[in-house]
Each structure stands twice: as structure tokens, then as C-alpha cells.
């Protein structure tokens, strides 16, 4: 899978690595020249960052506008993998005003990955990503526009959350850095797999907790935290449990302390309340609290009084519980509509039937004995093999190393790697230390799973950005007297921006690739956009033929389960081109007869070239 288009091939990665080394060399050779070049830009952004809402709007619009400008060379991407087709089915179902579709006749022909057919026809996934895709489909005519909007929302939310931890300029820099690293060229912007929604949810929970730490509990913070937790349960439920536990400990400790201090009448201590589970505070913090934390109740001849802390805390908890209860009820109803059980989510129902995805290594494996189609069995056996790596220490270490490399490629990349040299200094940062403890929970979460995709780490995205921003701040003050730290921080960001420009130039120059002068550059740029699948070519060929078509897919015995063809929309009978599996001769003929207004085709994708030919329904028997 292409986690990030910029780092999708070894050739292109070598070009990017060379650009990083050149930037570092230039920073050491000409630090004063770099500072003179980029200081005016930094000053303008710093002025913008002081206006919180303007900074949030800029962070949200930045990846959206850049991606819009890239559309001539990077149009909305075609779906590539099983999960994307399942999410698109979910979006199409929602766009038709349904939560679940009726099971289609002869449903055994349409069985496919990550899709339930009993008791209804629906995606196995949680609903949030499908709702975002449905928004793009209904309003803009294409699901990708929902992806586009969700990525902008993520970057804006990151800026908002970081403002409670970092100075304004660094909060804006962190959000824009995330946009540059994975918000423009990353899979979350250029696929339907999802990730930005869960990352936004994690940032909402983080921001609400950081806000309570800085300003004290409030009903609005409880409301935002509740929204974030419910969005996590609607995307990544297990990570939602982790964030909910963190929120309970983090906010609960602070609330109990506030109540205890309030009951003792210690007004000064109340001003220094911080909702931090570790209880670590910086001295003298209360003197810098904004006046808004001490709204007053005038009394005759008396001093300004603190608000009733217990009432504020109750309102915070109540706001969270109201949002959480409403969201939990909606998710329970969603489960009931698809599986018939409010406590049985679709993805667990699918796993019981098809055995995928396999659970964590610390859970027992899911065993399935019967499959109607060998391709579904192939995916099951592959994931079971990955799961069984837990029985071999060497295989587990190889798996961890591969996942760590993919994690680095998506979230960090070559341009932010130099900042990680200052990771050891984070142990001194008391404001950041509690978030490192929270990050450890997500590290343990992912260390016990057999596979890795960026969406699985999405709820912890804000924590990753916090670590990178703080490392970047340490790098910036490194050897500041010689100007090396500021020069490094500036030139690396400029080089990252340059890669986006070069990526678009590479695509624009592809039309000239046959020319002898730049033909050797084609292998460098060829991975910048996913190639069309063979299924897309067959679709294009059938779309040029008048009428409606039923296409039976005949796989060779050696066909890879990863190249699946049988994906359909929410309303199968209304499709112009329907893909179906061969099942039994009688059932094949009955399906063709039930769709009498469709021409019947047989496609064999494995021979080179592929074979597509019209057949008589009678010959299917």
C-alpha cells in the first residue's frame, strides 16, 4: 500500500533523501543566508498565529487549497484495496438514505471482502468514515470530496488542540507540518481508507483535556471531549476505549483535586489546579492564569470570590455524559439495524463468519472452516499466517521492524527525522511528559497487532505531532549562537515544500517522458499516482458498449486474493455493470435469468492479456 505518495518507491525515496542531505549541508554552510531568506516569512506567520481563529482557519485551508491546485495532475484517486470498496459501499448506502440494504437475491455470487450479506447487505465498518464519504457523494457528486474536507478539518483541529500546549506560532507550525507530511500526499487524502476522521477525534479529546489543564473544567470542554470519544467509537472503538480511560483519569484527578481544594477554602491553590494524572505542575503557574478563570460574584465590601468549583465540575461531567449517551445510543441503534444486536458491531459479526481481520496477539485466533469461495479463504489464511507470527520471536521482531518502517514513512519521513535526534531531551519537558505516558498506551496497543496501517494509529496522531513539534523546538535552539538550529528548521521545511512542487512537476512532465532527454526520469515519477487496475480497464471497455452488463469473474486457481474484482454498490440491481462470482452452474444460470435486461459476460483476469467475452446464459449451466 502507498502510505505516502512521496515515499512510495525506492527511487523516489533516494531523491528525497538526497534533498534532505543537501538541505542539512546548506544549513551548516550558509546559516546566515538561510535566516535572512526565511525570517520575513516566519514573522508574517507569527503575526497570523497570534489570532487563534485565523490560525485555525489557515491550518484547515492550507492542505485543501494545495490539493485543489494539484487536481490537474492528481485527480480523485480510484479505489485500490478491499477496505476502500467496503467504505464506498457504506457511503453509497448512507447516500441512499439507508443504514443497511436488503440482502440481494443470489447473494452468494456477490460475497466479497469486509462486506456482510446476512442478515443484511452492509459494510463491516463503523459508520463515521462512510458518513464523510456520503457527504462528499451527496453534496459534491463524488465521495473523495468528503475525504478532502476531512483532511482540512483534521489540520484545523490539530492547530486548535496544539494551542493549549505550545505557543501560538508553534501550534500553527505543527498543524502545517502535519499537512505537509501526511495531509497532502498521504493516504488519508488520497484514498477512501479513512484515518483523518479518527485523527480529528483524537485531537478533540486531547484538546479538551489540555484546555481543562490550562483553564480549568468547563461544560464546553466536557462537550468537546464527548464528541471526540464518540467519534473514536464510530471509527476505532478500541482506541476510543484508551482515550476514554485517559480522559477519565486525567479530568477526574483534576476535578477531585479542585473539589478538595475548594472545600478547604484555599483560593490560591484553586487557581493552580491542573487536571494532570501525574500531578506535576510548574511553579508559579497560577500567577499567569487569565482573568476569565476567576469570574467574580460581587459582595458588599468583600473581595472577588472564586466560582463554585463543584458546580463547574458537575456541568463538565454532565455535558460529557449527555453527548456520550446520545452517541452511544446512536451506535447501538446502528449495530441493531445491521446485526440485530445492539452490542454486536458489524465488524465482529463479519469476523465470526470470515475470520478477518484476526485479533490482537494477546487474544485467541478466530478459526473458520467453511468458505464458499477460495479468494475469501485466501485472505483468511494470509491473516492467520500473520497472526501466527506470535509463536516465533524472530518473526515478531521482523514484523515489528516492518511496521516501524511504515510508521516512520507515513508520520515522520526524511524531513522530520533530524528532529528526532533531540528526542532524549523530552524527558526534561514537564508539560510534555504526561502526554508521553499517554503515548505509551498506544504504542503497546499497536505492538500487539499483526499488521499496521496508518488509520490504526490515527487516534494518536495528535500525540505524534506533539512529540515532533517539541523535538523541532529543541532542534531550533541547538547551537543558536551560530545560527545552526534555526537554519536547519527553516531549510528542512522549505525542502519539504519543494518536494510537493517537484512532485507536481514530475507528473506534468510525464507527457514528455518518451523524449530521449528525460526518459530516464520516468521511473522516478511513475509511483506518484496509483496505476489503474485491470478491473478499471474492463469497466471502461464495458461503459463504451450500450446496454447493461452482468460480468461473471472466473479466477485462475493461482489468483491472488489481493486482486479482488467483485465489488458492487448499494443497489446492485440498478447498476449498469454488475460483477458476480461463479458459484454453481444452476445458480449462475438463475442469476443471469433474474437479470434478464443485462448482457452476460465472462472475464478471466489472470491470462495475459485478459479475456472478456459475451456468453449465452444457457452456456453457464
HSE-up of 580 (CA within 13 Å, CB side)?
31
Q: Is residue 587 part of a domain?
A: yes
Note whether 319 and 376 are same-domain residues: no
Residues 263 and 226 placed together within one structural domain of the fold: yes
pLDDT beyond 80 at 288: no
Q: Are residues 614 and 546 in the same domain?
A: yes
Evaluate if residue 160 carries a pLDDT over 70: yes
Residue 68 is assigned to a structural domain of this protein: no
Task: Assign 3-class secondary structure to 28-81.
Answer: HHCHHHHHHHHHHHHHHHHHHHHCHHHHHHHHHHHHHHHHHHCCCCCCCCCCCC
- Classify 582 as helix, strand or coil: coil
**CB contact at 8 A, 225 and 208:** yes
Q: Are residues 368 and 272 located together in one domain of the fold?
A: no
Mean pLDDT lowest for which of 138-147, 254-263, 352-361, 577-586? 254-263
Q: Are 82 and 111 in contact (CB under 8 A)?
A: no
Q: Which string of DSSP letters, residue by residue, matches 168-231? A: HHHHHHHHHHHIIIIISSBTTTSSSS--HHHHHHHHHHHHHHHHHHHH---HHHHHHHHHHHHH
Residue 18 burial by Cβ neighbours in a 10 Å radius (0-12, 13-18, 19+): exposed
- Is residue 592 domain-resident? yes
Q: Say whether both 217 and 316 belong to one domain.
A: yes
Residue 320's pLDDT is what?
A: 94
Q: Answer yes or no: do 612 and 581 share one domain.
A: yes
Which of 9-13, 126-130, 346-350 bottoms out in mean pLDDT, i.e. has the lowest? Answer: 9-13
pLDDT at 281 over 80: no
Q: Is 612 helix (H, G, I), strand (E, B) or coil?
A: strand
Pair 331, 213 in one domain = yes
Summary mean pLDDT of the chain: 86
Q: How many domains does the chain have?
A: 3
Give a yes or no: residue 574 inside a domain. Answer: yes
Q: What is the mean pLDDT of residues 225-246?
A: 95
In this structure, the answer to whether residues 209 and 321 fall within a common structural domain is yes
Q: Say how far apart CA 406 and CA 178 lie, in whole Å.
A: 16
Say if 33 falls within a structural domain: no
Residue 326 shares a structural domain with residue 214: yes
Q: Same domain for 331 and 385?
A: no
**pLDDT score for 272:** 40
The pLDDT of residue 299 is 42
Closest to 153 measured CA to CA, from 15, 60, 249: 60
User: pLDDT tens digit string along 114-137?
Assistant: 999 999 999 999 999 999 999 999
Comparing CA positions, the residue from 521, 555, 512 lying closest to residue 535 is: 555
Q: Is residue 372 part of a domain?
A: yes
- 432-482 residue pLDDT tens: 988 999 999 998 888 888 888 888 899 999 999 999 999 999 999 998 888
Whose cell is 510508521? That residue is 407
Provide CB contacts within 8 A for 31, sequence distance 6+: 482, 483, 484, 486, 487
Domain boundary among 348, 373, 391: 391
Identify the pLDDT of residue 515. 52
Phi/psi for 315 (5° steps) reads: -65, -40
Q: Is residue 544 part of a domain?
A: yes
Q: Give the pLDDT band of residue 73 (cuts 50, 70, 90).
A: confident
pTM, 2 dp: 0.88
One domain, residues 314 and 365: no
Host domain of residue 589: 534-620
Q: CA neighbours within 13 Å on the CB side: how many for 446? A: 23
> Could you tell me how many residues make up the chain?
621
Cell numbers at residue 405, please?
518502517
* Residue 577 falls inside a structural domain: yes
- The pLDDT assigned to 286 comes to 40
Residue 423's pLDDT is 93
**pLDDT of 85-97, one tens digit each?**
999 999 999 999 9
Question: In the prediction, which pLDDT does 388 show?
Answer: 87
CB 275 within 8 A of CB 254: yes
The answer on 367 and 334 residing in a single domain is no
Q: What is the pLDDT of residues 193-222, one digit of tens each?
A: 989 999 999 999 999 999 998 888 889 999
Whether residue 79 contacts residue 192, with contact meaning beta carbons closer than 8 Å, is answered with: yes
Amino acid at each position: 500500500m502507498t502510505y505516502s505518495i512521496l515515499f512510495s518507491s525506492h527511487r523516489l525515496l533516494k531523491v528525497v533523501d538526497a534533498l534532505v542531505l543537501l538541505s542539512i549541508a546548506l544549513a551548516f554552510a550558509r546559516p546566515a543566508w538561510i535566516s535572512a531568506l526565511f525570517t520575513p516569512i516566519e514573522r508574517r506567520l507569527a503575526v497570523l498565529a497570534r489570532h487563534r481563529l485565523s490560525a485555525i482557519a489557515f491550518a484547515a485551508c492550507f492542505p485543501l487549497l494545495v490539493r485543489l491546485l494539484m487536481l490537474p495532475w492528481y485527480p480523485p484517486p480510484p479505489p485500490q484495496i478491499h477496505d476502500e470498496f467496503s467504505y464506498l459501499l457504506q457511503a453509497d448506502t448512507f447516500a441512499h438514505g439507508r443504514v443497511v440494504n436488503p440482502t440481494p437475491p443470489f447473494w452468494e455470487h456477490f460475497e466479497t471482502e469486509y462486506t456482510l450479506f446476512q442478515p443484511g447487505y452492509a459494510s463491516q465498518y463503523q459508520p463515521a468514515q462512510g458518513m464523510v464519504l456520503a457527504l462528499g457523494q451527496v453534496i459534491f457528486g463524488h465521495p473523495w470530496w468528503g475525504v478532502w474536507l476531512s483532511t482540512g478539518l483534521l489540520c484545523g483541529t490539530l492547530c486548535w488542540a496544539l494551542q493549549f500546549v505550545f505557543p501560538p506560532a508553534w501550534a500553527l507550525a505543527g498543524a502545517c507540518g502535519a499537512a505537509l507530511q501526511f495531509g497532502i500526499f498521504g493516504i488519508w487524502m488520497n484514498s477512501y481508507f479513512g484515518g483523518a476522521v479518527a485523527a480529528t477525534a483524537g485531537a478533540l479529546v486531547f484538546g479538551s483535556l489540555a484546555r481543562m489543564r490550562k483553564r480549568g473544567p468547563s461544560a464546553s470542554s466536557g462537550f468537546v471531549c464527548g464528541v471526540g470519544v464518540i467519534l473514536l467509537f464510530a471509527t476505532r472503538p478500541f482506541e476510543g476505549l484508551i482515550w476514554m480511560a485517559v480522559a477519565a483519569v486525567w479530568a477526574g484527578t483534576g476535578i477531585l483535586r479542585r473539589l478538595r481544594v475548594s472545600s478547604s477554602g484555599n483560593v490560591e491553590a484553586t487557581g493552580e489546579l491542573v487536571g494532570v494524572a501525574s500531578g506535576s505542575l510548574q511553579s508559579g503557574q497560577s500567577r499567569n492564569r487569565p482573568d476569565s478563570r476567576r469570574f467574580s460574584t460581587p459582595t458588599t465590601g468583600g473581595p472577588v470570590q472564586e466560582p463554585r468549583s463543584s458546580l463547574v465540575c458537575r456541568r463538565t461531567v454532565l455535558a460529557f455524559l449527555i453527548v456520550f449517551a446520545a452517541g452511544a445510543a446512536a451506535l447501538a441503534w446502528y449495530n441493531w439495524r445491521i446485526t440485530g444486536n445492539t452490542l454486536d458491531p458489524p465488524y465482529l459479526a463479519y469476523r465470526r463468519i470470515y475470520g478477518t481481520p484476526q485479533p490482537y496477539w494477546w487474544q485467541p485466533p478466530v478459526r473458520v472452516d467453511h468458505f464458499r469461495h477460495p479468494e475469501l479463504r485466501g485472505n483468511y489464511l494470509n491473516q492467520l499466517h500473520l497472526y501466527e507470527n506470535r509463536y516465533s520471536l524472530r518473526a515478531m521482531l521482523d514484523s515489528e521492524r516492518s511496521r516501524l518502517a511504515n510508521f516512520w514513512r507515513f508520520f515522520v519521513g526524511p524531513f522530520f527525522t533530524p528532529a528526532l535526534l533531540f528526542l532524549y531531551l523530552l524527558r526534561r519537558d514537564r508539560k510534555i511528559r504526561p502526554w508521553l505516558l499517554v503515548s505509551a498506551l498506544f504504542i503497546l496497543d499497536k505492538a500487539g497487532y499483526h499488521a499496521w496501517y496508518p488509520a490504526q494509529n490515527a487516534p494518536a496522531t495528535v500525540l505524534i505531532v506533539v512529540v515532533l513539534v517539541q523535538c523541532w523546538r529543541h532542534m531550533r535552539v541547538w547551537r543558536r549562537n551560530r545560527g545552526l538550529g534555526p537554519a536547519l528548521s527553516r531549510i528542512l521545511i522549505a525542502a519539504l515544500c519543494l518536494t510537493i512542487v517537484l512532485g507536481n512537476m514530475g507528473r506534468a512532465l510525464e507527457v514528455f517522458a518518451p523524449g530521449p532527454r528525460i526518459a530516464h526520469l520516468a521511473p522516478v515519477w511513475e509511483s506518484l499516482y496509483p496505476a489503474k487496475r485491470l478491473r478499471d480497464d474492463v469497466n471502461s471497455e464495458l461503459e463504451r458498449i450500450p446496454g447493461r452488463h452482468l460480468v461473471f469473474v472466473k479466477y485462475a486457481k493461482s489468483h491472488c486474493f489481493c486482486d479482488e474484482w467483485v465489488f458492487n454498490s448499494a443497489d446492485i440491481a440498478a447498476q449498469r455493470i454488475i460483477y458476480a462470482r461463479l458459484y454453481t452452474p444452476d445458480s449462475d444460470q438463475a442469476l443471469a435469468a433474474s437479470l434478464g435486461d443485462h448482457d452476460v459476460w465472462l472475464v478471466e483476469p489472470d491470462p495475459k492479456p485478459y479475456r472478456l467475452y459475451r456468453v449465452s446464459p444457457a452456456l453457464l449451466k
